[in-house]
Amino acid sequence: MYQTILKKFSEDGIHLNDEQDNFLRIFEKNLPRKSFFVDFFKKKSKKGCYVHGDVGRGKTMMLNAIFKEIKLTKCSYHFIEFMKFIHNELRLVENTKDPIEIIAKRIASKYRVVFIDEFQVEDVSDAMIIGKLLNLLSKMNVFIMLTSNAKIENLYKNGLQREKFIKQIKQLEEDFVVFEFIGDKDYRLMNIDLNSSKDGKNFSQDQIFDFIKKNFNFIGDLNKDFRINDRTFACKGNTKDFIWFSYKDFFRQNLAISDFLAICKKYNWFFIDDFEQNDDYGKDIIRRFIGFIDIAYIEKVKIKFFFNSDDIRSLYIGEELSFLWDRTISRLEEMQNINDK
């Protein structure tokens, strides 16, 4: 496995740093490829891996490469998608004695490997579910692969009933290969010019409308509202292909992850303008924006942000969400520059 993955990275022009190379060797050593998990079910073998580090350090890149080499039954989720799946499953078994165990058995009956990318716990209901679920899956011989920006001891920091969550997670820490990726190279931004600013800033509404007409051959008036999840929202314009809305107006509304998911599945292109700076007094706006970017990134939608790339980092100047904001910055830069090409 080590040589195969190394070769594929090399063909893509990717050269691993010492930490990444060491992790790949450790992973292979703990989980020999002869039957891939031949020693996995022995007591001393590791039952999963938890790879953490700052944004863009290559965590997802590495585990995706490993995941592709696995020949056993497997599934891959972003954490948001995984929790959405679990909550849907819980509704189906809500009147049973131990619904989480039932769900764990269902997953274990289908998959030997579960990969959850960008593991993060903020919600108390998620915290009470995920710790128990992962431990049950581990006991049922499901190999679990996790990436996160946080160290295990920093998960769900300052959360309600955190002691229950930590008790469950500590067991995983003992059973998993826990590894930190460090370095100063952002692997998600390779071959992207972060300093390019092709459009400048301070766009007028007429300039944006002209941009839309020019690039989408649109003639006529734009619809000024749209309907999602039985609710109607105002916007600056939309057709069946794209939607244009104001950052400062749209994200002030009471929006949920389910709304963002529905929007991203409905439209192919998003145009966003009217950006404003927020501190912790406006953290609800920032939190919604972060949630939207998470979903947009997962769904690989195309977004045109009408602001100068130099302004991205200054959209949020608070402290409470700085950990989540660091990841969002990296995604904003990547999405903006890729869609500009």
**In terms of pLDDT, which residue wins out, 160 or 280?**
280
Same domain (yes/no): 114, 156 = yes
pLDDT at 192: 29
* Predicted confidence band of residue 200 (pLDDT cuts 50, 70, 90): very low
Cβ-based burial of 164 (10 A; exposed 0-12, middle 13-18, buried ≥19): middle
Paired tokens of 276: 């404003």
pLDDT at 195 exceeding the cut of 50: no
Contact criterion met (CB below 8 Å) for 31 and 145: no
Strands 231-238 and 223-228: antiparallel
* Predicted confidence band of residue 8 (pLDDT cuts 50, 70, 90): confident
Strands 176-181 and 269-273: unpaired
Same domain (yes/no): 90, 235 = no
> Kind and range of the H or E element at 204?
none
Give the CA distances from residue 83 to residues 127, 129, 131, 326, in Å, rounded to whole numbers and listed in that order.
Answer: 10, 9, 12, 22
Q: How many domains does the chain have?
A: 2
SS3 content of the chain, % helix, strand, coil (to 5): 50, 15, 35
List the domain range (segments joined by +) for residue 267: 192-340
Same domain (yes/no): 258, 114 = no
**CATH number for 103:** 3.40.50.300
Domain-ending residue, one of 187, 221, 243: 187
- 3-class DSSP state of 115: strand
Tell me which residue of 292, 315, 303 sits closest to 340, measured CA to CA: 303
Give the CA distances from residue 21 to residues 2, 3, 71, in Å, rounded to whole numbers and listed in that order.
Answer: 9, 11, 22
Convert the pLDDT of each residue in 56-97 to its tens digit: 788 888 998 999 988 889 999 989 889 999 999 999 998 888
Amino acid at 88: N
pLDDT at 199: 45
Same domain (yes/no): 178, 204 = no
Same domain (yes/no): 16, 83 = yes
**In terms of pLDDT, which residue wins out, 169 or 296?**
296
> Kind and range of the H or E element at 96?
none
Q: How far apart are CA 212 and CA 218, in angstroms?
A: 7
pLDDT at 311: 66
Cβ burial 64-77 (10 Å sphere, 16+ → b, else e): ebbbeebeeebbbb
Paired tokens of 90: 């819980």
Same domain (yes/no): 252, 322 = yes
Same domain (yes/no): 100, 171 = yes
Residue 306 DSSP one-character state: -
Same domain (yes/no): 26, 171 = yes
Convert the pLDDT of each residue in 140-178 to its tens digit: 989 999 999 888 888 888 778 788 888 888 888 888 889
pLDDT at 339: 52
Paired tokens of 173: 């820490």
Q: How far apart are CA 185 and CA 58, in angstroms?
A: 9
Cβ-based burial of 104 (10 A; exposed 0-12, middle 13-18, buried ≥19): buried
Same domain (yes/no): 170, 307 = no
Identity of the highest mean pLDDT range in 9-23, 43-57, 130-144, 196-210 = 130-144
Convert the pLDDT of each residue in 206-218 to its tens digit: 888 877 776 665 6
Contact criterion met (CB below 8 Å) for 302 and 339: yes
Same domain (yes/no): 324, 203 = yes
Convert the pLDDT of each residue in 90-145 to its tens digit: 999 988 889 999 999 999 999 999 999 989 888 888 888 998 999 999 999 899 99
Name the phi and psi angles at 282, rounded to 5: -105, 30
Contact criterion met (CB below 8 Å) for 117 and 147: yes
Paired tokens of 237: 């314009």
Domain-ending residue, one of 187, 222, 251: 187
Same domain (yes/no): 312, 290 = yes
Same domain (yes/no): 327, 211 = yes
Mean pLDDT, the chain, rounded, equals 82
Contact criterion met (CB below 8 Å) for 122 and 35: no
Domain-ending residue, one of 135, 169, 187: 187
Q: How far apart are CA 314 and CA 76, in angstroms?
A: 33
The number of CA neighbours under 13 Å toward the Cβ of 303 is 25
